[in-house]
Every structure is written in C-alpha cells, then in structure tokens.
Chains A and B, each alone.
Chain A
Amino acid sequence: MKGKPETVKAVEVSDLTKRFGDFRAVDHISFSVERGEILGFLGPNGAGKTTTIKMILGLLEPSGGRISVLGLDARKSRGDIKKMTGYMSQQFSLYPLLTVRENIEFFGGISGLGRPAIRERQAALAGQLPETLFRLTVRDLPPGIRQKVALFVSLLADPDLIFLDEPTSGVDPEARRAFWHTIYSLRERGKTILVTTHNLDEAEYADRILVIHQGRIVLEGDPRSLLETRKADSVEQLFREAIGSHETT
C-alpha cells in the first residue's frame, strides 16, 4: 500500500461513518489531506469534527469506511501511526497539578524520549518562556501560555502529522497570532497540520478548509479562491451560505 513518499497523502478518508445508536455523527465523508499542508476543519459544535479526528487517530472505532494515514491503514497500523502523529486536544490535555517541567518530562518519557532528550526539550521551552511561568503548575498558567505549552508537548516526539483540536479557544488575539506563526514554521519543516476550530476568521490562515455540518462535508477548498469565486466577503459568510444551502437541500 505504500506509494512513493511524495505521492502518498498525509490522510486519506473514504466513506467514513460513525453512528452512535441512531444518531449519525459522521455521515459517509471522504476527503484527503496533502503532505505539508495546513487544513482547517470548520463547523459548528457537534458537527462531527472531533469525532472524525478521533477516528483518524484510532481513538474511536468507525462504523464504516476506510482511513489511511501516511499510507498506512488506520485500523491495522495503529501503533505505527501513533509514532508519527501528535495530538493537542480540546482542553489542552496537560496535567494541571504538574509543573511545565514535569509535564514535559512525562509526555516526553511516554513518547520514548531518553533522559538527555527530555532535558534538552525542557531547556528549549524554558528559553521561550519567562522563568517564573516555567516553574508554575499548569493550573496556574494563563490560557495563552498553557496553549503554547500544550502545543510544545504535542510536538515532543517530532511527529510528521499534527492534529490540533480547538487549539485557540479562550486565547487572546495576540497569543493567537503567535500561535499561527509557530504553525507556519512547522509547515516550513514539512509537517502536515490539521486544525479544527469554530473560530471562522482563523480559517484564512489555513491552506485549505473543510466545512462539516451535521456529519457531512458542505464546503471544501482554498479559502482565498473560495472567497473570490463565491463572491463572499468573509469566511463566515461562506460558512453561513454553505450551511444554509445544506439545510435547504
């Protein structure tokens, strides 16, 4: 199943479905993510974004469809996929009672980093943060710093594919801009990034966007060309039109 590295897509999803009882959280969606691109996953709450990501990551069992990540079948090669992906979840997933240093030690350790590597990483983040903040427990950190730390932690194993689930919720615009700056530098290094957000003006940061509504894809493409071709002023307008038209069909 492995093709030449340049032609293998980062993520390929076909006919993916997830049912919870009668409720279809994800309804036969198909899409792909190219290597080295930033994909924005948009949609209102409950649209199916997180469910889709969890299935790609192997945290949830799909009800139907196929997923391949970096050329590997998601169902069979979960272990290998884990080694190549990083994940930053909605609630930032750090341990609030532990300090930043301890969080790095923990996540680095369970990712298989040796002690010297862990120490190097701790020093690297320490250099980016004011010293007083570095020694605090995560519980006492301001949200912007917490997000920065969470991102750092998700990158500890230097993954090729990174999933960020609502990474900027509750974060002020200044910190948000710094965050995207980091994301771009990641892309420069050849990483593929999938970002979910319900913050629509962030969509313009992405290379491509995917809009999900009620478990189905209602809009897909490069945000700038979409804005032009659809003659919309903002992604939000695009979004509303897509949702609106979807609801009338």
Chain B
Amino acid sequence: MRLFYLVKKEILEIVRQRELLVLLFLAPIIQIIVLGYVITTDIKNVPVEVVNLSNSRAAGEITARLQASPLFRIVKLSEKPEKAEDVLRRGEVRAVIEFRDSPGRGRWAWTLPEVHILMDGIDANSSQIAAGYVNGIIKDYLQEKLRRAGLEMPAEAKTLIRYNPRLRSINTMGPGIVALLLTILSVFTTAFSFVREREQHTMDTLLMSRLRPMEIFVGKAMPAVLIGLLDMVLGIGVVILWFHIPLRGSVFYLFLASLLYLAAILSYALIISTVVVNQSQAMFFSWFSLVLFLLLSGFLTPLESIWARAPALAVLTEINPLRYLIKIIREIFLKGNGPAFFWRDLLALGGIAVVLTSLSLLNFRRFISK
C-alpha cells in the first residue's frame, strides 16, 4: 500500500503543473493532427519542366496530358534546348522532360518522340516516382494509339491493391505517428523525472523511507505508463475519427502491444536518466535514441532494403522495440490480422520489454546505493 501513496504523489505533482499537462495531453493531439497532414509520402504536384524539341503531334498531346495530371506541376514549357544540369541546379524543378524526334523508324504510321527524363538525383525518391508516372502516362497514350490502329497492348497488368486501395499515405503513417509521439513523450518525460528528483534531493528522503527500491521504481514508472496509455487512447481516437483510418483488428492486442512497448521504452529512458549527468545530456541522448529507433524501424524505409544494404546495421532492427510495434500496429489497423500472424513480434516485444525493465531495475538499485 505504500506504493499507492507514491503513485498518488507522482500524479499530483504532474497534475499541479498545468504547462506539463498541456504538453502531455493537448499538444500530442494537435501534433498528431498536424503530422497527419504533413507526413505524407504521396508524391504529387511534382514540379517539372517540359522541353519540346520534337515536331511530332504526339509530343504536344503527351504534354497536354502531363499538364492535366495532378501528379505534375509544369513550371515551364519551353521549345529551346537548355542544359538540364543547369536547370536542375536551380532547384525549381525535380525533372526535365525532353521530347526529341526519334530518327524515323518502325512500322507505325505515327511516331512517338523519344522521351528523356532528366532527374534530379538528390531527391531520388520523388524523381523516380515521377519518372514512373511519366512512364504511365506515355503508356496510356500508346495504348490508345494502338487501339485506334486496331491493335492491343499484348500484355497488361491488372492490379489489386490490398488493405489500402487508394494508397493513402495517412493509412500507412497514421498509426506509426501515434507510436512515434508516444515514444517522444515517454522518452523525454521519463529521462527528465529521475534527473529532476536527484537534483531536488528528495530522492534521499524516498530512499530513507521504508519504501523498497523496487517500490520506488514502480511508483515512479507507473504514472508514466498511465500517461502513455492515455495518450495512446487519445492518439488512436484522433487518427480514427479525424483521419478515418480503418481499425480492422483487435483493440485488445493493440493495447497489449502498446503496453509492452511502453514498458520497453520507459525502461530505456530510465536507464538513460541514470547514465546522464544533467538535463541537456538527457535531451541529447533521448533525441539521438529516438532518431535511431525511428530510422531502423521500418517506419520510413522498408526493412528489406536495410538488410540488403547494411546487414550489420540491420541486426539492430531486430532489437528495436519500435520496429515490432510498427509492424503489429500496421497489421492490426490495415490488415485486421490476429495474433496468429504477429505472435512472434509480440513475443519479441515482450522479451525486449522484460530485458529492458530488468536492466533498468538493476541499474536503479545500483544507482541508489552508490
């Protein structure tokens, strides 16, 4: 029962700081909403320049389609050749689409011009998707021409996109954003709370009391877990109600995974807080860990490509709790998967949580008896 008093004290302290409450509850909601609009990997409105050096009618028609497409924003239309490199340097366009007359060949009555897509390689992702779009537009054009000539494209793809038919980026990112915010909050607030106690000398009093180290540990961690879960509920509510992200799977497992994740991430933050000396170090360590977790989690870039490029670093993804949470979350939201599909990830998450929690408890014991 002593524990109860400690948890109550912690909660009172948090509730008495109004700015903290705003930061812990109001700000995340606003952030999730803003982030939902901002973190879009949908590529559209790509600024391009079209240089038409061909005399063919086709070039004009294709250009018209490019103009009509919401995927592109034609910044400049020109008929004079210009060094693509210089144009791209100026940074106003991601690609230059050049039409040139192909030396007459082929058995077809109409001629398609040569299409050169000159891309800015710095933003490779956008450029390549843009190139894909151009391909698509040209292929559609070609297909129409063929049909009018009574021919058909010999092969065609019929695509079925499962789980996210309109390929809304918010469906992919939304649940991950909640996880992200949860992580940011947990790491930052926890890493601070212990340092702050130390700086307030009240830790001594706690240690002097009849509280056992385990009780002090749980008592300080419990409010953080409660806050985290509450934020989780709020966050999920926002993404479902505001952004209409479908939740097809079990809410129970969503919470189980979040709980395990919270345990892992909070323990991690606690370990940080005992390792650092002051608050700005706490900040830097927290920030750094966050970035690491994020990059190696499959949230931004697929895990498969990390394995292909840097297997040594990919090993780190195996012990990254965020990676498992993102996978489970995406599967529960979009695929409606049950534990039969992600029990391994859940187990891994649980294992990491247990290891980190024990580590932080041991660390805490050592730290207070020095």
Beta-carbon contact of A87 and B205 below 8 Å: yes
One of A82, A83, A87, A102 near B204 (C-beta < 8 A) = A87
Interface stretch of the complex, out of A9-17, A92-100, A174-182: A92-100
| A85-B208 CB under 8 A given contacts A98-B13, A102-B12 | yes
Q: Does B8 count as interface, using CB distance less than 8 angstroms?
A: yes
Interchain CA distance A83-B208 in the complex, whole Å: 9
One of A83, A94, A110, A137 near B5 (C-beta < 8 A) = A110
| A93-B204 CB under 8 A given contacts A61-B370, A106-B9, A109-B2 | yes
One of A61, A83, A85, A90 near B201 (C-beta < 8 A) = A90
A47 shortest CB reach to chain B, Å: 19
Residues of A near B5 (CB, < 8 A) are 105-106, 109-110
Beta-carbon contact of B13 and A110 below 8 Å: no
Residues of B near A157 (CB, < 8 A) are 210
A27-65 Cβ-contact flags toward B at 8 Å (1 or 0): 000000000000000000000000000100101110000
Beta-carbon contact of A82 and B208 below 8 Å: yes
Count residues of chain A with CB under 8 A from any CB of chain B: 28
Residues of B near A112 (CB, < 8 A) are 2, 210
B132 shortest CB reach to chain A, Å: 57
The size class of the interface chain B forms with chain A is 20 to 34
Beta-carbon contact of A59 and B210 below 8 Å: no
Q: Does A107 count as interface, using CB distance less than 8 angstroms?
A: yes
A46 shortest CB reach to chain B, Å: 16
| A59-B204 CB under 8 A given contacts A83-B210, A107-B209, A110-B210 | yes
The interface residues of chain B, by DSSP majority, are classed as helix
| A59-B207 CB under 8 A given contacts A106-B5, A110-B5 | yes
Beta-carbon contact of B16 and A98 below 8 Å: yes
Beta-carbon contact of A111 and B201 below 8 Å: no
Beta-carbon contact of A102 and B210 below 8 Å: no
Q: Does A169 count as interface, using CB distance less than 8 angstroms?
A: no
| A97-B204 CB under 8 A given contacts A61-B369, A110-B210 | no
Beta-carbon contact of A87 and B208 below 8 Å: yes
Beta-carbon contact of B2 and A110 below 8 Å: yes
Beta-carbon contact of A59 and B201 below 8 Å: no
Beta-carbon contact of B210 and A89 below 8 Å: no
Residues of A near B310 (CB, < 8 A) are none
Interchain CA distance A151-B206 in the complex, whole Å: 16
| A89-B204 CB under 8 A given contacts A97-B16, A110-B209, A111-B209 | yes
Interchain CA distance A111-B4 in the complex, whole Å: 12
B107 shortest CB reach to chain A, Å: 85
Interchain CA distance A11-B6 in the complex, whole Å: 30
Interchain CA distance A172-B8 in the complex, whole Å: 34
Beta-carbon contact of B369 and A95 below 8 Å: no
Interchain CA distance A94-B13 in the complex, whole Å: 12
Closest to B199 in A: A91
Which residues in window 1-38 of B have CB below 8 A to A?
Answer: 1-2, 4-6, 8-9, 12-13, 16-17
Residues of B near A105 (CB, < 8 A) are 5
B198 shortest CB reach to chain A, Å: 12
Closest to A150 in B: B205
Residues of A near B205 (CB, < 8 A) are 87, 89, 93, 107
B164-196 Cβ-contact flags toward A at 8 Å (1 or 0): 000000000000000000000000000000000
A69 shortest CB reach to chain B, Å: 13
Beta-carbon contact of A59 and B9 below 8 Å: no
Interchain CA distance A103-B12 in the complex, whole Å: 11
B355-370 Cβ-contact flags toward A at 8 Å (1 or 0): 0000000000000011
Residues of B near A109 (CB, < 8 A) are 1-2, 4-5
Residues of B near A60 (CB, < 8 A) are 370
Closest to B215 in A: A110
Beta-carbon contact of B9 and A95 below 8 Å: yes
Beta-carbon contact of A106 and B8 below 8 Å: yes
Closest to A86 in B: B208
Beta-carbon contact of B9 and A93 below 8 Å: no
Residues of A near B2 (CB, < 8 A) are 109-110, 112
Beta-carbon contact of A102 and B9 below 8 Å: yes
Closest to A92 in B: B201
Interchain CA distance A94-B204 in the complex, whole Å: 11
B207-235 Cβ-contact flags toward A at 8 Å (1 or 0): 11111000000000000000000000000
| A82-B209 CB under 8 A given contacts A105-B5, A106-B5, A109-B4 | yes
Residues of B near A93 (CB, < 8 A) are 201-202, 204-205
Residues of A near B208 (CB, < 8 A) are 57, 59, 82, 85, 87
Residues of A near B211 (CB, < 8 A) are 110
Known A89-B201, A111-B209, A111-B210; further 19 A-B contacts with Cβ < 8 A? A57-B208, A61-B370, A82-B209, A85-B208, A87-B208, A89-B204, A91-B201, A93-B205, A97-B17, A105-B5, A107-B205, A107-B209, A109-B1, A109-B5, A110-B6, A110-B206, A110-B209, A110-B210, A137-B16
Q: Give me 30 A-to-B residue pairs in the complex whose CB atoms sit less than 8 angstroms apart, sorted by A's number.
A: A57-B208, A61-B370, A82-B208, A83-B210, A85-B208, A87-B205, A87-B208, A89-B201, A89-B204, A89-B205, A90-B201, A93-B202, A95-B13, A97-B12, A97-B13, A97-B17, A98-B12, A102-B9, A102-B12, A105-B5, A106-B6, A106-B8, A109-B1, A109-B2, A110-B206, A110-B211, A111-B209, A112-B210, A137-B16, A157-B210
Interface residues of A, Cβ cutoff 8 Å to B: 54, 57, 59-61, 79, 82-83, 85, 87, 89-91, 93-95, 97-98, 102, 105-107, 109-112, 137, 157
